[in-house]
Structure 1
Amino acid sequence: MGRRIVSRKTSKQEKDKKESAADIEKELDKNLSAIRELLANPNDLVVREFTVGVTEQRCGVLFIDGLVDKAFINDFVLKNLQFQAKEQGLTEKGEKLLDALKVELISLSSVKAVKSFEEISNALLYGSTILFADGVKQALVIDAKGWESRAIMEPQSETLIRGPREGFTENMRTNTVLLRRHIRDQNLRFETHVVGRRSKKNLVVAYIEGLVHPDIVKELNRRLKSIDMDDAQESGYIEQWIEDSFLSPFPQFINTERPDKVSAAIMRGKVGIILDGTPFVLIAPTTFGNTLQSPEDFYERWSMGTFIRSLRYLAAFIAIFLPSLYIALVSYHQGMIPSKLAFSIAATREGVPFPAVVEAILMALTMELLREAGARLPKTIGQTIGIVGGLVIGEAAVSAGIVSPVMVVVVALTAISSFTIPSYSVAISFRLMRFGIMIAAAILGLYGIVLAYIMINIHIVNLKSVGVPYSAPFAPSFYKDWRNLVLRLPIPLLTNRPGYLKPEDSTSADKKG
């Protein structure tokens, strides 16, 4: 029975492929029937038949209701073909008629002729309108898309105090327009790919020709062409397919909703990857230093930008290592703690039934649960649950003698520090590594922390993003690039693009990160 079902599905798929790959017939009725059969005659498929010109040549228009602008179709296609063709005394037939309609009567900017049902079905399902003429083995694809889309709004995941308030949307064309508004360079290129065997979504690779190193674009295009999946629902699918190491906890692409961030990266010699249907655009290649940078570092004066960025590096260290240091010092290296502080910690831990590692893991897991619950609840309730829940549970845990007050302070500092990381993907990676380092500290104390730190550094040095070392410009060292790494020197001193990207134009006209 299973074999029969599989064979039926296989034969159905093969039949659909043959039908979609077939060429257009001359007879109008056969073409309309073939489209209806190919799409299983959906109720949102609109078919309008009419005659054109003095010879009353039969024609048919097809579109998917809801994906097109009906006003455009009525005013600039149907009205012109039905009335103006007769007024002008149009007498052409066959292919000459189709050429005349394309050149003289259809008042829309994008019109092209196609010859296969595959091209027609792809265009139809993407919001185009199809025009058939009886006796012609071609059809016209008219671009009159008009579906509902979200307006340009402020990015929800990357709020800034100072900076542009516009963010990407789910509409591909809107996103490319936003980039063109930021980059008015004639060398800005948009290379289009189609991903998803069934979804057939458009994906655009954006870069500046003559600035980005050609090998980066070539390698990205090669990886994108290797994508083989039914549907790429979000840019995260693309990121996971083309990344260098799927075993690494570190993201090898930066995702962002901010057009200013993407345009600044492209200006530096990087590439933007825009997928239709998501507001999150990928930036490649990326390095560890990029993950701790924010556009706001450049919108404020260099002294404040440097201070905030240095604070962010300190926060990253606290988010990863503070609980582990607490475990190691309390469990193995009490002699390294100042006497008064050691007595204070010992007094607060009196009566706590768990060792330090269990205490830390319990509190860290509780904090992760509260954070996840706050993110999933409605916005107005989520923030309240996160704050009040943390206070109530922390106070209750201390009162019950399950954890010590010092442990609550350590976990709170760790959570606050993790919130300062600009990239959500990197913050998740730090949270994941924190648990591994805590276990290492529980087994070997400070030696375990040092070994974990060495392993992380070895991994980062060996990791690459589209062939670019993830640890650059630390290792390999590009000393000129250190001016915009932990420190952020004044804008007039940032005159060169990053050397590790090997840009064809090394002089920077836009110094933002």
Structure 2
Amino acid sequence: MQEFKEREKQEQTISSPLSESLYENLRRIRTVFQTSHDVVIRELRIGEDKNIPIVIVYTDGLASSQSVSGFILDALLVHTPKVEGVHNPEKLFELMSTSILAGGEVKPLSDFEKLYLAVLAGETVVLLDGCAKALMVSTRGWKDRGVQEPTVQTVIRGPREAFSESLRTNTALVRRRVKDENLHCEQQAIGRITKTDIAVMYIEGIANEKIVKELFERLERIDTDGILESGYIEEFIQDSYLTPFPLTYNTERPDVVAGGLLEGRVAILVDGTPFALLVPVLFGQFFQSAEDYYQRSMIATAIRLLRYVCFFIALLAPSLYIAATTFHQEMLPTQLLISLASQREGIPFPAFVEALIMELTFEILREAGIRMPRPMGQAISIVGALVVGQAAVEAGFVSAAMVIVVSITAISTFVFPSYEMAIPIRVLRFLMMLLAASFGLFGITMGLLGMVLHLCSLRSFGAPYMAPFSPIRLAGQKDMIFRLPHWSLRKRPAMISKENPVRDATPAPAPPRPEGEQS
């Protein structure tokens, strides 16, 4: 009870307005930050006779020391004009905000809650005696790793820039690609304790206004202690949580975000993470890579077809092997059946248990390789797979054919451009294996029908998840399984946004006619 009263008293202190007394304000600030040794509180006197007391508050490590010294301390102590004749604090406050302080952004604050938020966000606050307001000067300048090459969504041909953990750097990377005055970037803080900055970017006139409004309503409903990564936001705003499939698209590439904005999507950037979110999202988007739009259309189409083939291999290969060897041996060619039978001679487990052991072993090796330090992780994943697979075959626990099937299945999961789609496939693969071991091909068929029905029931911010397959839209097929040339992609996806549908009016290329040939 005593702790609750102390917390309530502190909250009232934080939300109260600033006082005209500088020393009263200073007392409250020191009460809150008395155990925060990284918060710097400096008492200064300015003016020709050094008779005007002021206080400067900033967080060491978040505020740029050069900005604090050059824009604030130097301006106040060295370049301050003679202000002895100005006895009105309000007049002096206005003079400091318009003429003295040289920061990039200077704005007044009127209560302690905004003051503490500004200090802990890397800004510098200047308080003046006799004025019930403070000045916030923009001095953010913490260290970040800068713009580097993507580590997850790599491409052969395309930009080599990726988002960083700095929100302002990320918004600048998007602005650099979309130089349009209709690109809006609205920012807000989410989290009662962390107060994480969230930036929502969309192009007015292209993005669906209903989707933008719905997104802001969902963000306003978030009431939690903290947001540490964009995955927090993803779970709070998704349409349904009873699904293994992702209902938002995350990316670390600014060019992917720019492309999504041009199609009418809305981007969500979170401070402290290099992964941005795009909504709404369609199922086919997870099989598309940024490189598809930098290669020629025929090459991009062939690669996309390969991804869809790998999708079915990763989902169904072990279950088809189990069904064929357990229930439907008559479907196999005679030579293949004899070969499989000879390999399985002496194997003590049925095909389902055999596949389950190998799949679990590979998942353990994969997770171990990811969690271990990078040089050791690669060695463990490669050597472990080879040694365990060969040893299992030689020991007679599994057949060589099963090792081949599991290996091809695992390799197929790495073909997906989005890691978020590989995760549900890895989970559903075990369900398909169980259905195949129980009912054969009939069980696999029922499992596929259930998965398709589930996918068709999903929506992402009102957009059908399986569009343009269901409901079928012929115009949307130009950039889903196939990728037609850019000059033929004249309209934006209709299921995403119906506003400003035309995005390309370039005519189809035509070779010049030889001289003398009649038209």
* TM-score, with structure 2 as normaliser: 0.95
Q: Structure 1 regions of 5+ residues with no counterpart?
A: 1-6
The answer to whether the 8 A contact 2:174-2:254 is kept is: yes
Q: Structure 2 regions of 5+ residues with no counterpart?
A: 507-519
Separation in structure 1 between the aligned mates of residue 85 and residue 406 of structure 2, nearest angstrom: 79
Aligned to 1:373: 368
Deviations 1:99-131 (A, max 9, x none): 101111001120111110001001110001010
Aligned to 1:266: 261
Determine which of 403, 406, 409 is the counterpart of 2:398: 403
Determine which of 23, 36, 40 is the counterpart of 1:42: 36
The answer to whether the 8 A contact 2:456-2:464 is kept is: yes
SS in 1 for 2:78: helix
Alignment of 1:15 with 2:13, yes or no, is no
Give the deviation of 1:499 after TM superposition: 1.0
Separation in structure 2 between the aligned mates of residue 28 and residue 208 of structure 1, nearest angstrom: 45
Deviations 1:464-494 (A, max 9, x none): 1111110111111111010111011111111
Give the deviation of 1:57 after TM superposition: 1.6
Aligned to 2:510: none
SS in 1 for 2:164: coil
Alignment of 1:159 with 2:151, yes or no, is no
Which runs of structure 2 are paired with 1:17-166 in the superposition (5 Å)?
17-54=11-48, 56-87=51-82, 91-166=86-161
Determine which of 440, 448, 452 is the counterpart of 1:445: 440
Aligned to 2:276: 281
The one-letter amino acid paired with 1:493 is S
Give the deviation of 1:241 after TM superposition: 1.0
Separation in structure 2 between the aligned mates of residue 382 and residue 97 of structure 1, nearest angstrom: 62
Give the deviation of 1:88 after TM superposition: 6.9
The answer to whether the 8 A contact 2:487-2:505 is kept is: no
The one-letter amino acid paired with 2:415 is T
Give the deviation of 1:304 after TM superposition: 0.5
Which runs of structure 2 are paired with 1:417-436 in the superposition (5 Å)?
417-436=412-431
The one-letter amino acid paired with 1:316 is F
The answer to whether the 8 A contact 2:314-2:425 is kept is: yes
The answer to whether the 8 A contact 1:36-1:42 is kept is: no
Which runs of structure 2 are paired with 1:228-307 in the superposition (5 Å)?
228-307=223-302
Separation in structure 1 between the aligned mates of residue 189 and residue 18 of structure 2, nearest angstrom: 23
Alignment of 1:168 with 2:143, yes or no, is no
Aligned to 1:4: none
Deviations 1:207-236 (A, max 9, x none): 100001101111111111111111111100
The answer to whether the 8 A contact 1:57-1:93 is kept is: no
Aligned to 2:214: 219
Q: Which region of structure 1 is more displaced relative to structure 2, 46-55 or 71-80?
A: 46-55
Deviations 1:340-388 (A, max 9, x none): 1111111100000000000001000111111111111222222222111
Determine which of 385, 388, 404 is the counterpart of 2:383: 388
Q: 1:77 to 1:92 in 2, by over 3 A?
A: farther
The answer to whether the 8 A contact 1:190-1:205 is kept is: yes
SS in 1 for 2:189: strand
SS in 2 for 1:80: helix
The answer to whether the 8 A contact 2:263-2:497 is kept is: no
Give the deviation of 1:509 after TM superposition: 4.4
Aligned to 1:364: 359
How many equivalent residue pairs? Answer: 505
Q: Which region of structure 1 is more displaced relative to structure 2, 372-381 or 327-336?
A: 372-381
Separation in structure 2 between the aligned mates of residue 383 and residue 510 of structure 1, nearest angstrom: 48
Alignment of 1:319 with 2:318, yes or no, is no
